[in-house]
Amino acid sequence: MSGGLHDLTLTELAAGLSAKKFSSREIAEALLVRIARADGKLHAFNEVYVEEARAMADAADTARAGGFPLGPLHGLPMAYKDLCDIKGRVGTGGSKMWEKRVATETSATVERLTAAGMFPLGKLHMVEFAFGGWGTNPLMGAPVNPWDLETHRTAGGSSSGTGVAVAARLAPAGIGSDTGGSVRIPCAFNGLVGLKVTFGRISLHGTMLLSWTLDSIGPMARSVEDCALLLNALAAPDPRDPTTLDQPLEDFTLATKGGSIEGLRIAVPDSKQLPDFMHPDVTRAWQTAARTFESLGATVEAVRLPSWFFDMAQAAGTISTSEMFSLHRDWIEDMSKPIGPGVRGRALLGRHFLPGAYAEELRRMKQRRAEFAQWMKPYDALLVPTNAVPAIPLSEVEETSPIPGYLTRPGNYLGLCALAMPSGFSGGLPVGIQIVGKPYAEADVLKLGKAFQDATDFHRRAPDLSSLGL
């Protein structure tokens, strides 16, 4: 069933509420019915907040009827990756070990979006401890990529449930987190728009950490405008997370008003620098996207990335694995705890790094960031594919494969921001690009993303869920 409230983006829903075309309660009911019908198969939600969604949607309608000025997100739905804690509620972090863990504080992300008037649809499944790019979770169950209901395919990790819920129109938008690509990878696999923000843009207070050096929270949605709207509510200084205190404050929605991108310079690397496991359809879609940007007036320049650029995927892995092992060592080493073998095996690698390897990597990271800032100076953005391959069958996943995070991890390591966008299809499965920007240059990547979105229709395509009665 298409054309209903579930098909509308946050921006479109907000416009409809303002025009009194429908109510927040009607939005809530449309999505709750859809979740009830589809999620048994898709497995995106860990918990659905049925009564809370209805009550808060009703409250939003009452506030709107009162005629007071309300923010643009007021009365709109949101779904949260299950590492954003909500005080008094179960927060699993994707782990079977924590399926009854009750959170003692509320994450800054939930605080800010609730304060903006959004109502919660529920918590979303994820990879254990957010530690994995494919989207697997053997103990809690892996969400099903909605673009293929016959074969259980990877949804991308670690924000797997968010990717599935938003693509399947169970929610117009959701929250993900990105340490090595965990917002961008599921966006590529599910045909979504998602923003990996600069480290320190969005407070991590009350968020389960994987890597205190590389973690970031980010919006996942179906339009560039929606990502900007959510970023406006989420990007702010928070004294509980000092990394947020230095950021410039701005209105990100200004970047999505359209307008010419003429003169903006986009660096496009030589395809020979990409890994040899690139799927040809992904490469083609990326090259076509570069031509689209050129046709829109951007200056697209063929470049060679620094020779070490993709080596940063491994370097980022050393940092995140070291920090993950440090945070979770007590249960990772306790073989009686229910932890998936893939996650445990990769976490245990943190035991075997040479003494000083972690400290050395942090030192080198600072140096590489300075070098890359110099390299990037002439350009407004770097255009690369998001994931080297379309979604693969879950049965073919090799947990130690470098594939999922290979093209995304350098962005975390180098402290950059990036907008992931759908850029085409391969055998009916979405593939994507990422528009990578300088630190705190979210407005630039959003502006470029909006131009690409207006010139294409990939973000409008939806998976066929008719076999689920939808």
Spot the catalytic one: 182, 216, 223, 320. 182
Tell me which amino acid residue 259 is: G
450 flagged as catalytic:
no
Nearest-10 crossing angle of helices 442-455, 280-295: 100
Contacts of residues 268-272 at CB distance under 8 Å and 24 or more positions apart, as own/partner, are 268/300, 268/301, 268/302, 268/303, 268/382, 268/383, 269/302, 269/303, 269/304, 269/305, 269/309, 269/382, 269/384, 270/302, 270/303, 270/304, 270/305
Q: Which residues contact 132 (CB under 8 A, 6 or more apart)?
A: 157, 158, 342, 343, 346, 399, 404
Nearest to 192 by CA among 462, 405, 438: 462
Spot the catalytic one: 24, 158, 160, 320. 158
In Å, what is the CA distance from 121 to each residue of 80, 84, 102, 197, 391? 8, 13, 18, 24, 26
Nearest to 212 by CA among 221, 220, 204: 204
211 flagged as catalytic:
no
The burial of 172, by beta-carbon neighbours within 10 Å (0-12 exposed, 13-18 middle, 19 or more buried), is given as buried
Q: Are 381 and 315 in contact (CB under 8 A)?
A: no
Hey, what are 274's tokens?
Answer: 């990409």
Q: In what order do the strands lie in the sheet with 265-269?
A: 45-48, 119-124, 77-81, 174-177, 217-221, 193-196, 417-426, 429-437, 381-385, 265-269, 299-303
81 flagged as catalytic:
yes
Separation CA 194–CA 172 (nearest Å): 12
Looking up tokens 């996942």, which residue turns up?
Answer: 220
Spot the catalytic one: 23, 24, 81, 196. 81
Q: What end-to-end distance do the CA atoms of the chain give, in Å? A: 5
Tell me which amino acid residue 135 is: G
Name the DSSP class of 125: -
Positions annotated as catalytic residues are: 81, 158, 182
